[in-house]
Amino acid sequence: MSEVAYLPTGKRELTKVANRQAILDAARKVFGELGYETATVRDIIRGTGLAAGTFYNYFKSKDEVYLALASEGARQFAPLLKAQRAQSAGWEEFLNAAIEAYFLFLADAHKSWLSQRPPGETQPHVHGETPEMAAVFNEVREAIVEEMANGGAPITDPDYLAAACIAIARDVGEKMLARRPIDTKGATQFAVAMIQGGLNGLRQAED
């Protein structure tokens, strides 16, 4: 309609991407520290240099930014998990692959987020989990459940077993993040050994 069409400059595009990222970063931090309910949109934008309304140029709602974070995490993680699983021959290898993938994701994410949450300052009623962690964890859960349904780990009570494996992965992963240096190899060995041992224990108990 107009004679002169201004194309978006590289600079503009850059700040747009940067702002989006800044909001995502701030949101991740805030959700991790405060939890979804307690975190406010204003808490999030305070972490960027932006104004309140600007948030809504990038995300339609508080919920949407949470979901964006979660699905971004899942999207990045899914191929890693898949690749690891593809290489695995049996249950033990699968388990090792899945847990290692999860721990690597956690470690990587943790490093790049510089979560820096002052230790011990945990608020009451708070998750302590970023949306991405939640999403990625769900991927692992599903992989384990699926593998188990396929007969990967034939044992009396697959429901309890899945719950237990997942629980170990989650909580050992969390502990791992609290240590320096972050040792994914060690944590993976621990978790896998414990789960495999547990399986043996359960087989014996069955008799």
Partner DNA sequence: AATGAATGAGAGTTCATTCAT
Partner DNA sequence: TATGAATGAACTCTCATTCAT
User: What does the binding site for DNA look like in residue numbers (CB under 7 A)?
Assistant: 2-6, 8-9, 11-12, 15-16, 19, 39-42, 49-58, 60-63
DSSP 8-state assignment for residue 125: T
CA distance 173 to 176: 5
Q: What is the 3-state secondary structure (H, E, C) of 33-73?
A: HHHHHHCCHHHHHHCCCCCHHHHHHHCCCHHHHHHHHHHHH
Among all chains, which residue has been given the structure tokens 């191929």?
Answer: 79
- To DNA, the closest distance from the beta carbon of 34 in angstroms equals 10
- To DNA, the closest distance from the beta carbon of 54 in angstroms equals 4
With CB cut-offs between 5 and 8 Å by kind, which of DNA, its own copies, none does residue 190 bind?
A: its own copies
109 scored as a contact of its own copies (CB under 8 A): no
With CB cut-offs between 5 and 8 Å by kind, which of DNA, its own copies, none does residue 194 bind?
A: its own copies
Choose between 36 and 113: whose C-beta lies nearer to its own copies.
Answer: 36
With CB cut-offs between 5 and 8 Å by kind, which of DNA, its own copies, none does residue 143 bind?
A: none
Helices (H), the chain: 10-38, 41-46, 55-58, 62-86, 91-113, 131-149, 158-178, 184-206
56 scored as a contact of its own copies (CB under 8 A): no
